[in-house]
Chains A and B, each alone.
Chain A
Amino acid sequence: MTPGRTPLLALRQISKSFGAVEALVGVDLEVHGHQVVALVGDNGAGKSTLAKVIAGVLQPDSGLIELDGAPVTIPSASAATRMGVASVFQDLALCENLDVTANVFLGQEVRGRLGMLHDGEMETETRALLRHLTVRIPSVRTPLRNLSGGQRQAVAIARTLIGNPRIVVLDEPTAALSVAQTAEVLTHIERLRELGLGVILISHNLNDVRAVSDRIEVLRHGRNNGSFPGDASHEAILAAITGAGSPSL
């Protein structure tokens, strides 16, 4: 990370409550291009809430979101997409009955003559995207229900690259995947970084996180609870997650 450079995305003092429950309290986060920032924490620490704030699904009660140093509000998921923030949600946002191409372009279909679907162009584009991510899938016309969990996750990641985003938010992309599939998904994440994107990786699997992240941010009870370099020790991160010897108290 180059200090002093304007981050792609910066969150300043973000707070969000649901009724009496404070999900996020004054959270700060910065992401630069060519960087994978991991967001870790125990269940209920506010990771997914923060992801949804960035993705435009939830609105923060207070705090500031800056894109390229300029303050913005992200009123909806499609607004986030327009601003170059793409997300893969924990509960995979894919349609099992549609094929790979249809899923990748869902909601952002390419229109050809008479406003009809331009399937040829979408298929070519999909194949190129999957090649970029080094994804192996039998055919872009395979319905999603015939793919493995890892392949589906790859499709979900490929989906985010439509419309040239600059920031990708991945919420628990390796949950419920086998060891081999997890390794594949981690390669895809590294490819995203090589493509120059800023990646926010949410996970509570520390092994995955330490394998690919440049920086690890810990959340605890909705607050920042320490920032670590990607090669920090397992124990130090774990201590911050569980609150043992917490620096903020």
Chain B
Amino acid sequence: MNVIAGARELVTRHMRESGIFVAFVAIVALFAALNPFFLSPNNLTNIVLQYSYILILAIGMVMIIVAGQIDLSVGSVVALTGAVSAVVVIREGMPWYVGALAALVVGLLVGAWQGFWVAFVGIPGFIVTLAGMLLFRGLTYRVLDNVSLSPFGGTYYDIANGFQNGLLGGMGFDVFTLVIFAIAVVGYAVSQWRTRRGRVAYQQTVEGLPLFALKILIVAAVVMWFGYQLAQSRGLPNVLILLAVLVIVYGLVTQKSVFGRHVYAVGGNKHAAELSGVKVRRVNFWIFVNMGFLASVAGIVFSSRMNGAQPGAGNMFELDAIAACFIGGASTTGGVGRVGGAMIGGLIMAVMSNGMQLMGVPQSIQQVIKGLVLLLAVAFDIYNKRRAAALR
């Protein structure tokens, strides 16, 4: 009885976050029931590979949305950075890392350009990045002379298509993958335990110990099962390692660093942040530089996955990334949103696209359904806020 009461309390307290998580689990269960192939090792690997660049973009986008801005240019920046890399590696015949480095530099420059107009000239991010969307798409066409470049091949191709497999030997499955996942699970459990202990020390309400253990156990089971599926397929995708590192680093930056705190402050009340001594302009500048950086990372991953650069690459990526943030609980008015939420939002989009493709749902219907999901997610957010305001 106590556990049930505790569970209900946990669910209502984290309604917004757990709501999205429950939705995610429900969607996965639905597709698993409809298509036996959906949870197969190969398909799970595919989902990771297919949508990783959206997830990378969503990390930067959620920071921009939290600060009360928006970035419409990321699709074009993905195309431009991929194109620059292709020109360096394929046309000029330089090594793969020179191409990757060139893409990162272009991404940082693009970010600094947009950050300058937003932060120091004071033009809304919406306008600056709308201009950037056209500008960088046009530059992509110039850089590529209107033709596609391929193939990269070699190490560059392996960035998005390679796997870590057999490093510790295998017995029908990759041991290395399982070890990495086990380390991740232990790390998660330890950090959750420390948070909980901190809460107890500050006399805050925490869920009961059985419920806490149950939560950790469920997460551990799901993660290890996912790891086992990957281990049975081709091993640990390089992209997943990259994504995990980015999620952990940006999780720390947004939740534990002074800069992250200031991003939330600017999004919550720009005027108050300014009066409190937060350097609002500097925050705005750096979140756009950071977005440029992550867009170039996504550009490298995408061009590697496509094994080439196309002038039309990355079209509409910005909308997928923005949708991931809003489905994942970011607020349209700024100040609210988390990297973890954006990841789940992005995974919901990924799982829906992949599941519907497997079922042979026509592209047109897929778009309709994704649009409705986005609308419902934001409606749910607004409903929750109204209810919270009424409770006060």
Residue B264 interfacial (CB < 8 Å): yes
Give the contacts of B257-306 with A (CB-CB under 8 A).
Answer: 257-258, 261, 264-265, 267-269, 271-273, 275-278
A97 touches B268 (CB 8 A): yes
Q: Contacts A78-B277, A107-B278, A108-B277 given; indicate if A97 touches B267 (C-beta within 8 A).
A: yes
How many angstroms between the C-alpha atoms of A117 and B278 in the bound complex?
Answer: 15
Specify the main secondary structure of chain B where it touches its partner: helix
Min CB gap A139→B, angstroms: 6
A95 touches B335 (CB 8 A): yes
What are the residues of chain B within 8 A of A175 when measuring CB–CB? none
What are the residues of chain B within 8 A of A146 when measuring CB–CB? 388, 392
A117 touches B268 (CB 8 A): no
How many angstroms between the C-alpha atoms of A95 and B273 in the bound complex?
Answer: 7
What are the residues of chain A within 8 A of B364 when measuring CB–CB? none
What are the residues of chain A within 8 A of B388 when measuring CB–CB? 145-146
Min CB gap A107→B, angstroms: 3
Min CB gap B337→A, angstroms: 10
How many angstroms between the C-alpha atoms of A94 and B227 in the bound complex?
Answer: 44
What are the residues of chain A within 8 A of B258 when measuring CB–CB? 109, 111, 115-117
The size of the chain A interface, using a CB distance under 8 A, is 31
Min CB gap B12→A, angstroms: 14
A95 touches B204 (CB 8 A): no
B256 touches A117 (CB 8 A): yes
Which of B267, B268, B278 gathers the greatest number of chain A CB atoms within 10 Å? B268
Interface range on chain B (Cβ under 8 Å from partner):
20 to 34
Q: Contacts A98-B264, A117-B261, A123-B202 given; indicate if A93 touches B277 (C-beta within 8 A).
A: no
Q: Mark A67-107, 1 if CB is under 8 A from B, else 0.
A: 00000000001100100000001011111111000100011
A81 touches B277 (CB 8 A): yes
Which of A92, A95, A102, A109 gathers the greatest number of chain B CB atoms within 10 Å? A95
Residue B336 interfacial (CB < 8 Å): yes
What are the residues of chain B within 8 A of A120 when measuring CB–CB? 198
A93 touches B276 (CB 8 A): yes
Question: A106's contact among B257, B276, B336, B392, by CB below 8 Å, is which?
Answer: B276
B257 touches A116 (CB 8 A): yes
Residue A141 interfacial (CB < 8 Å): yes
A96 touches B335 (CB 8 A): yes
Give the contacts of B320-357 with A (CB-CB under 8 A).
Answer: 335-336
> What is the chain B residue whose CB lies nearest that of A87?
B275
Min CB gap A104→B, angstroms: 10
How many angstroms between the C-alpha atoms of A43 and B91 in the bound complex?
Answer: 71
How many angstroms between the C-alpha atoms of A96 and B385 in the bound complex?
Answer: 13
B268 touches A95 (CB 8 A): yes
How many angstroms between the C-alpha atoms of A97 and B276 in the bound complex?
Answer: 15
How many angstroms between the C-alpha atoms of A159 and B15 in the bound complex?
Answer: 30
